[in-house]
Amino acid sequence: MQIHTEVWAAAQTGDRAALQVLLTQLRPDIRRYARFQCHRASVIDDVVQEALIVVYRRIGTVRNVATLGVWLGRVVARLCALPALTLMRGVEELSSIEESAHFARMPVDDLRIDLTRALESLPATHRQIILLRDFEELTIGEIADRLNITREAAKSRLHRARLLVREYLMPANRGDDDVQA
């Protein structure tokens, strides 16, 4: 990975032209990482696109160009593991073998649709905190600062939001088996 220090410095300060050059330079490396780490070739393009978005949003948090490759590798690894519940990293362990078996049997695309619907069903404050933590990858402290709440409140809200998502995803709670009149 060869990044010019001038481009790097300018991109970190928010220079859009430099950021565009940086993203263009990083794309082949990100694609190579994705080919290596993703188990399904069908997700590589999506992972590359999502990784570029993460770079765009979070480039200012990378301390120096020497650590960029390692950071990108971690970002791509997380994105390759995304196919559903792992997207909510830090989710508490599934509470039973039945839950694990249920999610393991579901087609990944169905699980993604269900997860999207679960997120859409959340109140705005809960949806927002999941998006900040799991999509924007903000820390609890960063979330608390952005929302002007305490760290404890951010943790509590995130925990509650994840519980609501889990309740939505569990088949007994979704009403898939029952037809309501």
CATH number at residue 161: 1.10.10.10
Asked if residue 41 and residue 23 are part of one domain, the reply reads: yes
Asked if residue 97 and residue 76 are part of one domain, the reply reads: no
- Positive or negative torsion for Cα 8, 30, 54, 75: negative
Query: Considering the chain, what is the average pLDDT of its residues?
Result: 77
Domain that holds residue 20: 5-80
Q: Considering only CA atoms, which of 139, 43, 152, 45 is closest in space to residue 89? A: 139
Per the CB < 8 A criterion, the answer to whether 26 and 55 are in contact is yes
Per the CB < 8 A criterion, the answer to whether 158 and 130 are in contact is yes
Asked if residue 76 and residue 89 are part of one domain, the reply reads: no
Domain edge (last residue) among 41, 59, 80? 80
* Per-residue confidence in pLDDT tens, the chain, 181 aa: 667 788 888 888 888 899 899 999 999 999 998 888 877 676 788 888 888 888 888 888 887 888 888 888 888 887 876 654 344 433 434 444 455 555 556 666 666 777 788 888 889 899 899 888 877 778 888 899 999 999 899 999 998 998 888 888 776 544 444 434 3
- Positive or negative torsion for Cα 173, 176, 177, 181: positive
Residue 33 lies in a domain: yes
pLDDT of residue 47: 83
Residue 180 lies in a domain: no
pLDDT of residue 114: 76
Asked if residue 135 and residue 100 are part of one domain, the reply reads: yes
For the chain, the domain total comes to 2
How many other CB atoms are there within 10 angstroms of residue 18's CB atom? 19
pLDDT of residue 162: 85
pLDDT of residue 109: 65
Residue 118 lies in a domain: yes
Owner of token pair 């269900």: 114
pLDDT of residue 171: 60
133 Cα distance to chain centroid: 8
pLDDT of residue 149: 94
Domain edge (last residue) among 80, 99, 114? 80
Asked if residue 117 and residue 98 are part of one domain, the reply reads: yes
- pLDDT, one tens digit per residue, over 63-98 is 788 888 888 888 888 787 665 434 443 343 444 445
Domain edge (last residue) among 32, 47, 80? 80
pLDDT of residue 165: 84
